[in-house]
Amino acid sequence: MIRLARYLTLCATLLALLAAGCGQARKAPANTAVLATSATPAKRITLRLGYFPNITHATAIVGVSEGIFARALGANITLQTATFNAGPEEVEALLSGALDAGYMGPNPALNAFIRSHGEAIRIISGATSGGAALVVQPGITSATDLRGKTLATPQLGNTQDVALRAWLKSQGLSATTEGGGDVAITPQQNADTLNAFKAGKIAGAWVPEPWATRLVLEGGGKVLVNERRLWPNGLFATTVLVVRTDFARAHPDVVRALLRGQIEANTFVNTQPERAQQIVSDAIARITGQRLNPQVLATAWNNLTFTNDPIASSLKKVANDAAALGFLKLDNLDVARIYDLQPLNALLRASGAPEVAQQ
């Protein structure tokens, strides 16, 4: 894996060269699909892709580990990858130009879109639905029992953090971003959350898989809220694939190649689940130094749906919840513009697969 610091250095060098040798690029009209035009890629292009060492990013892990992305991109495109703990730090890498594309939750994607006034990124595909839950200590039986307790999330403002705060609010409980209110929320790395939960230092956590399952099987917790029960048909976006608009406009052929890899990787995950689980387990062990318990992996896997559909219908509620909590300022932006699904749908249509909805 290429370290993020090396990306930042590379990015700074490239920007300096571009500034010296090129005029300022013209922006496409605001409502223009960023991949609608054709461009001839250079002979050698590097695509820098980010993702998490987490089973909710199984599509990305399989695509990288099995060489699916590399084959789809072809010999003239070099794939470089970086891993992240949670969405906000990956957003910073995208906005700084250190990444070209990345797998992340819908909240960080919205944050990047809104912070850049709708310019910086587009969601071009889904990857995963489901796989998030609030797991609590055995003695907690309702939201009321959480008053005065401390809960954890992966990172302030990330997808699970917003989901927890929105749910608490719906239950009449407050939680400030400073850790105050009726329920204190402590954003921390998932591994730290598991240890804190085992030690009884926190009452629970709203986390993605496999951490929700680990809190149950290894920490003796129980699921108080399975997030899929809060959504119509149990479907909501957990992981989506985003791309920097500047990169997409400059290299639409590269992005279409990445989408072909995305579709192939998801097909692999869905048709060979046991093999995919082993690949994901090996990759997580290699990246984090810790191997998942096979029972944890298998149990958590069953709570996920791997789909190319970004489930755009779930985005509006996510955006409204994040805005109500103060994480986003929508400023009358049309959040539906965050999607550019035309290239994905063209590929799905060509393969005879159902297209996905834009909103």
Nearest Cα neighbor of 347 from 265, 247, 259, 250 is 259
Task: Give the helix ranges, DSSP H, for the chain.
Answer: 4-21, 58-65, 68-73, 87-95, 106-115, 159-170, 190-198, 211-217, 245-250, 252-271, 273-288, 294-301, 315-324, 342-350
Domains of the chain: 35-130+236-350 (3.40.190.10), 132-234 (3.40.190.10)
Tens digit of pLDDT for each residue in 39-93? 444 468 999 999 999 899 999 999 999 999 999 999 999 999 999 977 888 999 9
Of the given ranges (24-33, 143-152, 318-327), which has the lowest mean pLDDT?
Answer: 24-33
CB atoms near residue 125 (< 10 Å): 29
Q: Is 37 exposed, middle or buried (0-12, 13-18, 19+ CB in 10 A)?
A: exposed
Q: In terms of Cα–Cα distance, which of 309, 269, 295 is closest to 62?
A: 269
pLDDT tens across 4-15, in order?
344 444 444 433
What average pLDDT does this structure show over 108-114? 89
Whole-prediction pTM = 0.80
Distance separating alpha carbons of residues 35 and 61, to the nearest angstrom:
25
pLDDT tens digits for 78-100?
999 999 977 888 999 999 999 99
Q: What's at 35, amino acid-wise? A: L
Scan for tokens 């990956």, then name that residue: 90
Residues 155/211, Cβ–Cβ less than 8 Å: no
Residue 43 has a pLDDT of 66
pLDDT over threshold 90, residue 163: yes
What was the pLDDT predicted at 225? 97
- The shares of helix, strand and coil residues in the chain, as percent rounded to the nearest 5, are 45, 20, 35
**SS3 state at 239:** strand
| pLDDT single digits (tens) 193-204 | 999 999 999 999
* Edge-to-edge strands, sheet with 184-187: 184-187, 150-153, 204-208, 132-136, 222-226
Chain-wide mean pLDDT for the chain?
87
Q: What is the mean pLDDT of residues 291-303?
A: 93
- The answer to whether residues 151 and 164 touch, using CB atoms and an 8 Å cutoff, is yes
Rg (CA), the chain: 20
**What pLDDT sits at residue 193?**
97
**Range scoring the smallest mean pLDDT among 96-105, 171-180, 258-267, 316-325:** 316-325
Confidence at residue 313, expressed as pLDDT on a 0 to 100 scale: 86
Could you report the per-residue pLDDT of 114-156, keeping only the tens digit for each? 889 999 999 999 999 999 999 999 999 999 999 999 999 988 9
pLDDT classification of 358: cutoffs 50, 70, 90:
confident
Token pair listed for 276: 């995919």
Query: Which pLDDT score is estimated for 32?
Result: 42
